[in-house]
Structure 1
Amino acid sequence: MDLPVMPPVQPMLAKSVKGVPDPATFTDDEHPGLLFEPKWDGFRCLVFKDGDEVELASRNTKPLTRYFPEVVAALRSPGVPERCVLDGEIVVAHDGRLEFDTLQERIHPAESRVSMLAETTPARYVAFDVLALGDEDLSTHPLAVRRERLEAALSSPPDGVHLTRTTTDRAVAEQWFEQFEGAGLDGVVAKPLRGAYEPNKRAMLKIKHDRTADVVVAGYRLHKNSTEERPLLGSLLLALYDDAGSLRHIGVSASFTEKRRGELYDELQPLVCGPEDHPWGAWSEVTASGGKAAQANVSRWNAGKDLSFQLLRPERVVEVGYDHMEGERFRHTAQFKRWRPDREPSSCTYEQLEEPVSYDLDEVLSG
């Protein structure tokens, strides 16, 4: 492979901001304003293509090529330039919306399973930037130029490859922010049109949904630095009651200071209980014995990571911040806000969660 931009390359990153920013604050004589895009909920992926040789690289520069043979095949098609370096996202869709959990299943060591999933739940590549075309390095060019070149390069993309929609209209971006969540998207990204491509720098802006929910604390995991002499809480296991009255795991809350980890560990010890006193007792017992349910406590990204947990009587309620849901769970780690002693755990149900308006993913991709 011989390209003007060669791997490894760390992608340009984004920092979170509140609300869709005003393009007028990003002034430039030649390329003023912002380019807004949907924020795709998938695996960030840089594509390096030199003829039939195609490499897919993750955000942390690890190879993704073997996990997505159907994406590699699509990128080899005539609708994609013979020699190019693209930035984009690998996504999987089902029933008109993105499915991140299904996408995660693709990171599997068995080639037979990868091949089967490539057939049953094929992934797609959504391109939103270009770093090189032919022998030309475009990474130092303004985004306005790169976008123009990308549109020309992917004017007739093959099946499985898409060019992301964009707008310079703030009102349209705000509409996307409200509508596209129903198709499983993650918010909106804003990029200065004057900006060059800056690897590993937070030169873009991301706008994500900001919501809160009152949830039950059902257990905790210890921090990796916890010791018998100084036990530290790593994360809180969060839960909600479903319509049948069952306590369902909905996610975790973490990111505490070391001092707060020690305080939380001490604070929660009176609630420690055994499997016989907890709705998740059977799950906990099987996990502890190394049975099949232990698979639920193995990290897909780090097989050696200990995800065992301590059960707590589900008597305390905490308010957490979250951005959006993936099925019945928080898509990302929830942010601890405050304890809610005024709430009964039984009142913490899925009904409090905001339901995004349904929106067809094909409408986003074909716009």
Structure 2
Amino acid sequence: MDLPISPPVAPMLAKAVKTMPRGDLYYEPKFDGFRCVVFRDGDDVVLSSRGEKPLTRYFPELVETVKAELPERCVIDGEVIIRRGSRLDFDALSQRIHPAESRVRLLAEQTPASFVAFDVLALGDETCFETPFKERRALLERALAKARPPVHLSPITDSFEVATRWFDEFEGAGLDGVVAKSADLPYAPDKRLMFKVKHERTADCVVAGFRWHKSGPIVGSLLLGLFDGDGALRHVGVAASFTMKRREELVAELEPYRMSDVSGHPWSAWASQGEADRMPGAVSRWTGKKDLSWVALRPELVCEVAYEHMEGDRFRHTARFRRWRTDRTPESCTYEQLEVPVEFDLDQILT
């Protein structure tokens, strides 16, 4: 591969802010997918992840798409996404990371991926690192002028009002916020020079277990549950934002609720119900052999957590512990408390 930039390259990152920033900024929707820097030199294509790991083998259909739709020699930053109906489907996207070649090929046919481009690092023999973002965007638009789906150019606006509307509306299509970039911003790999505004909500959850911290006998994360319409307690994610001192304190706080016999725990029978991939102790394709064993607690504690959004029936990202809710009963912690965004058609964003 003979490009002015060699893979891998750590993509430029965004710093989280609580409110939409104003100024000489450009705003883009924040797509919920896999960050991906695409390198193309003729028939040679490399897809590189945010962590600079290769994604190429997992998305063979995108390799062919890149050859057909992107410039002959380029390095382009963007997001790999999968859509399901009118919205993004991160669960389907995460399923694409699979060790078996046969499974990768099957999923490429069943749940084909798309690529949303939003920045350019190199075109031909020229690098664009020092080129201001406003000019890079113009270069990207010209480079992708004839590109067809499943390659898309990210929408962009310099209007604060439009960006605010996007923030409110696009969540209904599975997007998770807005990214803001200065017009004169150079491309700085692995630097948090952009801004991101993401949705944050709170929910009251049952604490039905915990995992030990990797450093020793202190609490690493709390396992959270919500009751569904049938009265079953579903595992919805974890809360893990604690100081080391607080992790030590939690050991004593949780001790009275620990169960020596888990046969009566609401999650003990999940495996027999064919839901092993949803069990708190299931092996993750992302963590490999990482120890995901957990300690069962009587499901009597309730805590308030902050979360960004749901992916199916689970929190999309790690939730953040806010406080204990001694005034709430576990039975009151249901999915009905969660705010559901108004649906929005993804086609209206991508076109």
Q: TM-score range by the shorter chain?
A: over 0.9
1:278 paired residue among 265, 276, 301 = 265
Which position in structure 2 is the counterpart of 1:243? 229
Offset at 1:292?
8.8
Q: Distance in 2 between matches of 1:80 and 1:158?
A: 9
Which position in structure 1 is the counterpart of 2:178? 188
Which position in structure 2 is the counterpart of 1:29? none
Which position in structure 2 is the counterpart of 1:142? 132
Question: Contact (CA 8 Å) 1:80, 1:158: kept in 2 or not?
Answer: no
- 53 and 294 in structure 1: CA distance in 2 versus 1, 3 angstrom threshold: closer
Q: Distance in 1 between matches of 2:343 and 2:128?
A: 38
Q: Indicate yes or no: 2:312 matched with 1:327.
A: yes
Q: Distance in 1 between matches of 2:301 and 2:75?
A: 51
Q: Distance in 2 between matches of 1:294 and 1:85?
A: 36
Superposition map of 1:261-340 within 5 A: 261-273=247-259, 274-283=261-270, 293=276, 296=279, 297-340=282-325
Q: Indicate yes or no: 2:36 matched with 1:45.
A: yes
Superposition map of 1:355-366 within 5 A: 355-366=340-351
Unmatched 5+ stretches in structure 2? none
Offset at 1:275?
1.8
Cα deviation, 1:256-290, whole Å, max 9, x if unaligned, reads 12221111011101111222332112248x79xxx
What is the TM-score of this pair, normalised by structure 1? Answer: 0.92
Q: Indicate yes or no: 2:148 matched with 1:158.
A: yes
Offset at 1:295?
8.2
Offset at 1:302?
2.0
Amino acid at match of 2:84: H
Cα deviation, 1:152-175, whole Å, max 9, x if unaligned, reads 000111331110000000000000
Cα deviation, 1:46-104, whole Å, max 9, x if unaligned, reads 00100111100001111000000111100000x32100000000001101111111101
Offset at 1:13?
0.3
What is the TM-score of this pair, normalised by structure 2? Answer: 0.96
Matched residue SS, 1:235: strand
Offset at 1:244?
1.1
Question: Contact (CA 8 Å) 2:235, 2:278: kept in 1 or not?
Answer: no
Which position in structure 2 is the counterpart of 1:201? 191
Matched residue SS, 1:308: coil
Q: Distance in 2 between matches of 1:245 and 1:109?
A: 36
- 264 and 85 in structure 1: CA distance in 2 versus 1, 3 angstrom threshold: same
Question: Contact (CA 8 Å) 1:127, 1:162: kept in 2 or not?
Answer: yes
Q: Indicate yes or no: 2:52 matched with 1:61.
A: yes
Q: Indicate yes or no: 2:30 matched with 1:18.
A: no
Amino acid at match of 1:279: P
Matched residue SS, 1:342: coil
Matched residue SS, 2:82: strand
Which position in structure 2 is the counterpart of 1:27? none
Question: Contact (CA 8 Å) 1:74, 1:158: kept in 2 or not?
Answer: no
Q: Which aligned runs of 4 or more in structure 1 are off by greater than 6 angstroms?
A: none
Offset at 1:294?
7.4
Q: Distance in 2 between matches of 1:21 and 1:294?
A: 39
Which position in structure 2 is the counterpart of 1:341? 326
Amino acid at match of 1:301: W
Cα deviation, 1:166-211, whole Å, max 9, x if unaligned, reads 0000000000000000100010000001110010000000000111
Q: Distance in 1 between matches of 2:94 and 2:296?
A: 27
Question: Contact (CA 8 Å) 1:322, 1:332: kept in 2 or not?
Answer: yes
